[in-house]
Chain A
Amino acid sequence: MITPELARFIESGISVLVGTRDARLRPDCVRAAGVRADAAAGTLTVFLPAATAERALANLADNGRIAVTVTRAIDHRSLQIKGGVVEVRPSSPDEQSFIERYLELLAVDWGHVGVPRKSTRSMNAWPAYTVHLRAETLFEQTPGPDAGQRLTPEAAAQSHRAGAR
């Protein structure tokens, strides 16, 4: 499902949004504090800040359905991964340093489009929860005529090369 090339794009220190919904199908969105991709296992790990993810965590406990959109700020290249949650647990100290590195990379990506580093780094990201999910489907999310189209992993890797542009 996730090629190594795609995993590099997902992990390149870019914006991560998480969508969930409750039992009445009321949606919620929250900004994640980083994502890891395991190409071989076809899984993702997203880190949700405890400060802002209360509803998302409740939704995941209820039904486990999750959407993750990664977006590179400089050119809006975006990909959405949908799947089911396998595990939710408090993040470990190791993962805290991963989140720290992620926020530094995000500050660089957002710095390219004029967001001051100070703003990006003011995000309240710790403590966090680690959400482990199985990726089921991939969607093109870059703004344009194809946004929302389902992608094969090969096509996705093609248009989301980590170093592209």
Chain B
Amino acid sequence: MKIRLEDLQACFQGVIPATMATADAEGEPNVTYISQVYYVDPSHVALSCQFFNKTRRNVAENPYAAVDLWDPRTFELYRLELRFDHLETAGPLFDTMAARIQVIASHSGMKGIFRLLSADVYEVLSLRRVAEFVDPLASPPAEPADWDPESPSHPPPDQLSELRGLQAISGRIARAHDLEELLATTLAGLDELFTFGHSMVLVPDDRECRLVAIASRGYGAEGVGGEIAIGDGVMGIAAAERRMIRVAGVGTEIRYGRTIRERFADREGRRDLAPEIPLPGLPDARAQLALPLLAGDRLVGVLGFESRDPLAFDEWDEAFLQIVANQIAMGIDRMQEDEEEAAPAVPARPALEAPAECDRKLRFVYFRNDETIFLGDEYLVRNVPAKIFWKILNQHQREGRTEFSNRELRMDPSLGLPGYKDNLESRLILLRKRLAEKCPWVRMVPVRRGRFALEIESAVELIERDSA
């Protein structure tokens, strides 16, 4: 059976580095590893050029190249004969490849230093499987589960069950009463129905320079509240570029970036290298997939997935999760619209009063300069969620108020919420979860859509300062 280039998708994930030979015009051969081969179309592949190296100079003189690719599941070898065709420095192919290079660069503190110079497109002259590479008497080829027995890949796709699964998730999104429920039930559904065990939703903060996780699955309590700068890491770059990014063999990429960083540091003594950025989420993730959540042209968040299996995500996952991401984005957008103040469905609950004999006293300090609240000496929350919390704590203390509406928060200019599509819901989720984690004696309990009660089980002291 003739092998087609499009059948080699697993080889294009970059889990096992490919090798490449070229020769200059005098006939001197050159052989090297290449980090990834990109599939372009049934008769073309692309290689990334980050440095004008010997390979690049050779193909300028003599356009022929040989590339060996390995299937990371079976360790089978595929041999390609290539002829350099053209290079691209803009356009969709370049952008896709550049985003991946940016991920490596941002993780290893080399943003702007280590970048894609061009996408070099080669025509595939021949392709064959080198059946003899693997010893037929050796143990059977490794299965993908070998990479991580703990994390099995997705169950075999069955079109009807996939469609029913998507229908179930879509239903959860449509029926959710609030944003917290929408995100929690969707991530749970993706785990239960499709075995996406590590997922998160991050939203941009008020200054649109960082992403904050407001929902997560498979990371424990620590998952929510995690932050990453927009433009850093897979999630941050997906947000900055508004582009889906899939990275396999994350460990390999980071090691590769680290090596290049060391070479820059050793040889040039560069001082502009930023500190290396730890991966958000799983410390041992080997595959990541990040999808921007877009409502019209607005970025409302990022949907991120991780796995310890380097081959966990493929083109099916990209297509499937893009549908889910679009639904989540529309859901977030819907939740952010000004809610109708419905008539009370349930009577407002009386708030808990601080027990008179309670000797616990919570000391909250608000720092005006960086809009941060500390509980005692411990950081609690900042920016808009901090301003909201400070407002309601003060009103509770001064006026004895216990119930608040989203609408009054929206109308308060001092909170600095934008007039339209203000992300208030996600700010409230973040605040509620930070309290549950750091300060369980203070709770914000929804009483009905658009209203919540402030419950405080302790005496409270409020202190306001200009700066720390």
Contact = CB atoms under 8 A, between A and B. Distances in A.
User: Do A and B assemble together?
Assistant: yes
Nearest to B260: A144
A119 B16 CA distance: 11
Interface of B: 16, 19-23, 25, 27-33, 35, 51, 53-55, 57, 62, 64-68, 75, 77, 81, 130, 132-136, 138-139, 141-142, 146-147, 251-252, 255-256, 258-260, 262-264, 266-268, 286, 310
B33 A71 contact: yes
Nearest to B61: A25
B133 A19 contact: no
9 contacts: A25-B25, A77-B259, A78-B32, A116-B142, A124-B134, A142-B259, A145-B51, A145-B267, A147-B51
A88 interface: no
Interface residues of A, number: 49
Contacts of A138: none
B142 A29 contact: no
A101 interface: no
A122 B141 contact: yes
Given A80-B30, A123-B75, 11 more contacts: A26-B23, A27-B64, A65-B28, A76-B33, A78-B32, A82-B30, A116-B147, A144-B264, A144-B267, A148-B53, A148-B54
Contacts of A113: 251-252, 255
Contact of B138 (A20, A68, A121, A145): A121
A147 B256 CA distance: 13
Contacts of A25: 23, 25, 27, 62, 64
A136 to B, nearest CB: 10
A119 B21 contact: no
B31 A145 contact: no
Interface string A132-164: 000000010111111110000000000100000
Contacts of A75: 255, 258-259
A77 B260 CA distance: 10
A66 B138 CA distance: 30
Contacts of A91: none
A27 B23 contact: yes
B129 to A, nearest CB: 12
A52 B132 contact: yes
A36 interface: no
A89 interface: no
B21 A29 contact: yes
A142 B263 contact: yes
B206 to A, nearest CB: 39
B139 A122 contact: yes
Given A25-B64, A145-B268, A115 B33 contact: no
A147 B136 CA distance: 37
A21 B51 contact: no
Nearest to B310: A114
B69 to A, nearest CB: 11
Contacts of A116: 142, 146-147
Nearest to A20: B29
A27 B66 contact: yes
B266 to A, nearest CB: 8
Contact of B19 (A29, A119, A122): A29
Contact of B68 (A29, A51, A139): A29
Given A25-B62, A123-B134, A147 B31 contact: no
B172 to A, nearest CB: 36
B259 A76 contact: yes
A19 to B, nearest CB: 3
A58 to B, nearest CB: 13
Contacts of B255: 74-76, 113
A27 B65 contact: yes
